[in-house]
């Protein structure tokens, strides 16, 4: 058993997320904590990796629901090891590749298509870049200006 000695505030700071997000992740079953005598959350160090993985997955366009699903394959009562995390990431790798392929097709069709006469609902490849490969759509807009 690892020491359970990180407070929410410490975890939040080290992960770059708000305390409220940690509460939220916990409510979704993505992370766990124990409580001290005063009912405050205490985390073991492996929560840091969990949160890191959550954030990385989100950047890939993976939803919390999917992350939760993937996490359910992790060992429940020991800290996940290298192999556990890698199994997880290989599924996401495939998914991300599909999304990239999809976006590339979209991009390559774009310039020719929006301007030309073909952008009509029925037949244009930009309008219908067949989604068989990338069912999950464009994903969230992760890049954005600020």
Partner DNA sequence: CTAGAACCTCAAGTTAAGTTAAGGTAAAGG
Partner DNA sequence: CCTTTACCTTAACTTAACTTGAGGTTCTAG
95 lines the binding site for its own copies (CB under 8 A): yes
Query: Applying CB under 8 A, which part among 2-10, 18-26, 29-37, 134-142 lies near its own copies?
Result: 134-142
Q: 3-class DSSP state for residue 69?
A: helix
Q: Which two tokens stand for residue 134?
A: 């990338």
The neighbouring-strand residues paired with 44 are 4
List all residues 6 or more positions away from 113 whose beta carbon is below 8 Å from its beta carbon: 119, 124, 125, 126
Contact partner, 96, from its own copies, DNA, none, Cβ < 5-8 Å per class? its own copies
Query: Applying CB under 7 A, which part among 3-11, 82-90, 116-124, 130-138 lies near DNA?
Result: 3-11
34 lines the binding site for DNA (CB under 7 A): no
Which helix H or strand E contains 88, and what residues bound it?
A: helix 82-115
61 lines the binding site for its own copies (CB under 8 A): yes
Q: Which of 1, 34, 38, 130 binds DNA (CB under 7 A)?
A: 38
Place of tokens 């590749």: 97
Length in residues, the chain: 146
Q: What is the x/- site pattern for DNA, positions 45-64, by CB under 7 A?
A: ---------x---x----xx
């Amino acid at each position: 058993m690892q020491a359970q000695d990180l407070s929410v505030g410490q975890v939040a700071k080290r992960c770059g997320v708000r305390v409220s997000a940690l509460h939220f992740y916990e409510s979704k079953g993505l992370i766990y904590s124990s409580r001290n005598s005063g009912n405050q959350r205490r985390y073991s160090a492996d929560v840091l990796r969990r949160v890191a993985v959550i954030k990385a997955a989100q950047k890939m366009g993976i939803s919390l629901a999917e992350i939760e699903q993937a996490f359910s394959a992790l060992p429940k009562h020991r800290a996940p090891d290298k192999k556990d995390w890698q199994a997880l990431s290989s599924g996401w790798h495939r998914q991300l590749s599909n999304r990239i392929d999809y976006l590339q097709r979209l991009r390559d069709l774009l310039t020719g298509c929006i301007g030309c006469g073909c952008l009509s609902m029925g037949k244009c490849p930009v309008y219908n870049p067949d989604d068989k490969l990338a069912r999950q759509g464009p994903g969230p807009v992760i890049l954005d200006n600020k």
